[in-house]
Amino acid sequence: MDPFLVKAIQLILSLSFLIVLHELGHFIPAKLFKTRVEKFFLFFDVKFALFKKKIGGTVYGIGWLPLGGYVKIAGMIDESMDKEQMALPPKEWEFRSKPAWQRLIIMLGGVTVNLVLGFLIYMMIIFVWGTAHVGPEEMPKGFAVVDSFEEYGFQDGDRILKVNGKDFENSLDINKHLFMRGIENITVLHQNGEEESISVPEEIGTQMFEKGIMQPFVPIMAPVLDSIQPGLAAEKAGLKKGDKLVSLNKVEIGYWHELAPVSMENKEKEVELVYERDGEIKSTSITPNEEGKLGFVKNYDFDIQRNSYGLTQSISKGFDYGYWTLRDYVYQFKYVFTKKGATQLGGFGAIGGLFPDAWNWYGFWNTTALLSIILAFMNILPIPALDGGHVMFLMYEMITGRKPNDKFMEIAQMVGFFLLIALVLYANGNDIYRWLFE
């Protein structure tokens, strides 16, 4: 199946799952507090719905615009902007008639569900698949290091021993930790057998972002193919598992990390690929796609160990993984407000790109857990039209004892809604720009 289609299916399935559970987070406490829920929709039903059915006092349905979902709670100023209902005297079953603490629980329900769900999925992943472990003994060739990091004292072939003085479980996580975890020093084993503790600058993450160096450490591996991604250039060129790359566009490829720069320089250009198959040298024409991808899946020539965990350990380990995932996302969120970060905002294309090219349950659930935690964080931001905006006004009411008037809430909701629409259009516009011009 075409990789684009596989990613699209995973994206729709994942978002549908997360949206429905998020809205249930509002729906269930609303029902518990005897608040009428008039609509429960997956996706938005602007002008018409693909499906809808009224059960009890609630219309359940699926809209045609896949930008989210919603529950319409009676007596609440939300994206429906139902001014007629709000002009009538409050009814006991309406949202506005409930105590502030009940309204707060209803509004926090969706965020809570997404946050808890993300943690639960990580616990499930660790219970089923365990965690990866690649230590220095599994990587005898070590890492290739970008030029700018050689200035600090790192060398090609370095193996990671410790980070901030502590043993480092998975060497493949070093780039992520450098970018987001506040690393002060890394202890490496050079290829000459010398062990050295190397200090890194305090703002190394910011420097990596500004210079566009997100992978300063790349495992040194022989360029042997493990498999071929369907629908991409490698499959069309007839490459097979076990083929060893020799050169691309007359540039010798001795290791995997030497391939990407050449491929990126020749995006959408037909170039010569020389490879070795069963001891015989062959050549073919190949065209990297608009992202510089050829469709090769690396054959890791070192062992990736899997650590297995029991149920209790999985709960603890999954909670820890979920905590660091949330913390890392919050930490890197600051880059959105930089000039470069604004240009890298992505929409559905970028989100879809997080999923694997071929169906993979581990990849699907791992990305779904990440998206669940991102949705929780984004929804709690104090922006009108988001859950966090409603929570902000409720907190104001609980502290001061005064409700913001309905006219102010309507204007705030409208401003927040148009702000979100503008952000969605901008982010997806970035996706289209990158697809067309990069």
Helix (H) or strand (E) segment spanning residue 104? helix 100-129
Cα 104 to the center of its chain, rounded Å: 28
User: Could you tell me where in the chain the CATH 2.30.42.10 domains are found?
Assistant: 224-298
CATH architecture entry for 224-298? Roll (2.30)
Q: Provide the 10 A C-beta neighbour count for residue 84.
A: 7
Query: pLDDT value at position 438?
Result: 55
**One digit per residue, pLDDT tens: the chain, 438 residues?**
677 888 889 999 999 999 999 999 999 999 999 999 999 999 988 889 999 999 988 999 999 988 889 999 998 876 655 566 666 777 899 998 999 999 999 999 999 999 999 999 999 999 999 998 899 999 999 999 998 999 999 999 999 999 999 999 899 999 999 999 889 999 999 999 999 999 999 889 988 988 888 889 999 999 999 888 877 889 888 999 999 999 999 999 999 889 988 998 998 899 999 999 999 999 999 999 887 889 888 888 788 888 999 999 999 999 999 999 999 999 888 888 777 776 767 777 888 888 887 888 999 999 999 999 999 999 999 988 889 999 999 999 999 988 888 788 888 888 888 888 888 888 878 778 766 665
23 CB-near residues (< 8 Å, 6+ apart): 40, 41, 42, 69, 70, 71, 110
CA dist 228 and 212 (Å) reads 28
Query: pLDDT value at position 130?
Result: 94
Q: State residue 369 phi and psi, 5-degree precision.
A: -65, -45
Strand segments (E) across 229-359? 244-248, 251-252, 271-277, 280-286, 296-298, 305-307
- What are the distances in angstroms from CA 402 to CA 375, 393, 397, 405? 30, 10, 5, 9
Q: CB of 133 within 8 A of CB of 303? A: no
CATH architecture entry for 143-218? Roll (2.30)
CA dist 41 and 20 (Å) reads 8
Query: pLDDT value at position 403?
Result: 86
Q: How far is it between the farthest Cα atoms of the chain?
A: 84
> Global pTM?
0.85
Pairing, β 225-228 against β 159-163: unpaired
Residue 17 CB-density burial (10 A; 0-12 exposed, 13-18 middle, 19+ buried): middle
Written as six digits, the tokens of 1 are 């199946």
